[in-house]
Chain A
Amino acid sequence: MDISGPDLVKAAAFLGAGISMGLGAIGPGVGEGMVAAKACEAIGKNPGEAGLLTRTMLVGQAVSESTGIYSLVIALLLLFVV
């Protein structure tokens, strides 16, 4: 098969999109897990504050999620815009 310039660029963009979203998902997954693990600990110690702790956990996880969303944005840009 002969590989032309634009084809090579497209191939690289697709590979880049996959790697971007794939590797980018590792950090938020682990980070959000740590947040929720500590939230479980806190509720185990003080079940009365479950509502407040759930809220704090979700906000913390949302912030930790942001890098995953950056990866998604970059992956979609590589797929559809570049």
Chain B
Amino acid sequence: MNPETQSIVELCAYVGGGIAMGLGAIGAAIGEGYTASEANVAVARDPENSGNIFKNMLVGQAVAESSSIFALVIAILLLFLDVEMAGILKAAALLGAGLCMGLGAIGSGIGSGFPGGQTCFGIARQPEAAPALTTNMLIGSAVCQTPAIFAMVVALMLMFMDFGQSAVNPTWAALIGAGVSTGLAAIGSGYGGGKAAGASCAGVARNPTSVGNVTTTMLVGQAVSQTPSIFGLLVSFILIFKTFPETTALAPSMALLAAGLCTGFGGIGPGIGNGLVAEGAVRWVARNTSAAGDLMRIMLVGQAVSQSTAIYAMVVSLVLIFVI
């Protein structure tokens, strides 16, 4: 293999590592800042419970941190990966892996901050509900991490799979597209899931007896909010595993890159929108538990409609992959 290819592979690995950690640091920092700011408000309101609030702040921040730790792991792997004897496709895959993990950590990091912050504030408001709040916070923020975990899975696949047999020309775009698809789509789902989890912690603090209904509504709402990131993951898998015929033209490559961009960008809005719906439903389940059934129904209808544009985007991506 010629030394020039080796340099390109290393270049992509280093750029990918920088992108992974640089973008990956955005979300967790914002989320943890939100948690800490709410904790400050909470301590000002109820200084006697400052110990308990401080403990929950740290636990909430630790969970929010995980998405940026995923990014750190991927960045370090990219920097020290042994890429000898790799072809030019490996370069595209490594760049895709960096983009995927960097973009994918943004939403989950921001989202996980909301339940932590609302829990701190809730403890100041209703100290006896603290154990229920901590449990609810941990469940909610763990689910928020799912999109970042999807991104890490795709990044690891791109880094460690062997693409040596594939045709270089369209496959390079498919690999970058695969990274961008899961990475971008994870932004909305992570943020949206966090909105739902934050509202549920606020709701438990407002009305501790509603905790069962609130947690159930939160989990259903978060599950639906994850759908756009699952669409992104699906398109990534198709782009990684499908074999594309060799070509010398530019158009087939661009079609595959566009497929990744389309599902990725298309997932951002519906992910955020679904999270807003779940936030509204969870908040009002806590205030008016007797209407929980009606609220769950309207939440699911609203989320289904909000989902439609993500489905359009996925359809356009599938057309770009399979028809064009």
Residues of A within 8 A of B324 (CB): 14, 79
Is the CB–CB distance between A43 and B250 below 8 Å? Answer: no
What residue in chain A is nearest B300 (Cβ atoms)?
A36
Say which residue of A22, A47, A76 sits within 8 Å of B263 (CB atoms): A22
Is the CB–CB distance between A54 and B265 below 8 Å? Answer: no
- In the bound complex, CA of A26 to CA of B273 (Å): 9
B259 within 8 A of A: yes
B270 within 8 A of A: yes
Is the CB–CB distance between A44 and B288 below 8 Å? Answer: yes
Is the CB–CB distance between B273 and A43 below 8 Å? Answer: no
B181 to chain A, nearest CB (A): 10
B253 within 8 A of A: yes
- In the bound complex, CA of A47 to CA of B288 (Å): 9
Contact residues of A: prevailing secondary structure: helix
Q: How many residues in A have their beta carbons less than 8 Å from beta carbons of B?
A: 55
What is the size category of the interface that chain B forms with chain A? 35 or more
Residues of A within 8 A of B316 (CB): 17-18, 21, 72, 75-76, 79
A82 within 8 A of B: no
- In the bound complex, CA of A4 to CA of B249 (Å): 8
Stretch at the interface among B3-11, B42-50, B135-143, B306-314: B306-314
Knowing A7-B251, A71-B312, the reply to whether A18 touches B302 (Cβ < 8 A) is no
Is the CB–CB distance between A21 and B312 below 8 Å? Answer: yes
Residues of A within 8 A of B254 (CB): 10-12, 14-15
A28 to chain B, nearest CB (A): 5
Stretch at the interface among B68-76, B113-121, B289-297: B289-297
B155 within 8 A of A: no
B274 within 8 A of A: yes
- B51-83 residues with Cβ-Cβ distance < 8 A to A are none
Residues of A within 8 A of B277 (CB): 33, 36-37, 40
Is the CB–CB distance between B279 and A29 below 8 Å? Answer: no
Say which residue of A17, A26, A57 sits within 8 Å of B320 (CB atoms): A17
Is the CB–CB distance between A43 and B294 below 8 Å? Answer: yes
What residue in chain B is nearest A47 (Cβ atoms)?
B291
B46 to chain A, nearest CB (A): 27
- In the bound complex, CA of A25 to CA of B272 (Å): 11
B298 within 8 A of A: yes
Is the CB–CB distance between B291 and A43 below 8 Å? Answer: yes
Is the CB–CB distance between B258 and A33 below 8 Å? Answer: no
B1 to chain A, nearest CB (A): 20
B187 to chain A, nearest CB (A): 10
Knowing A29-B188, A47-B294, A58-B305, the reply to whether A40 touches B269 (Cβ < 8 A) is no
- In the bound complex, CA of A34 to CA of B250 (Å): 40
Knowing A7-B250, A14-B255, A68-B308, the reply to whether A35 touches B302 (Cβ < 8 A) is yes
Is the CB–CB distance between B249 and A22 below 8 Å? Answer: no
Residues of B within 8 A of A41 (CB): 280, 283-284
Is the CB–CB distance between A38 and B280 below 8 Å? Answer: yes
Is the CB–CB distance between A22 and B320 below 8 Å? Answer: no
0/1 string, B243-255, CB within 8 A of A gives 1: 0000011110111
- In the bound complex, CA of A57 to CA of B281 (Å): 14
Instruction: Provide 6 A-B residue pairs closer than 8 Å at the C-beta atoms, listed in order of the A residue.
Output: A7-B250, A14-B258, A39-B298, A45-B288, A57-B298, A57-B301
Interface residues of A (CB under 8 A from B): 1-4, 7-8, 10-12, 14-19, 21-41, 43-45, 47, 50, 53-54, 57-58, 61-62, 65, 68-69, 71-72, 75-76, 79
Interface residues of B (CB under 8 A from A): 169, 184, 188, 192, 228, 248-251, 253-255, 257-277, 279-281, 283-285, 287-288, 290-291, 294-295, 298-299, 301-303, 305-310, 312-313, 316-317, 319-320, 323-324
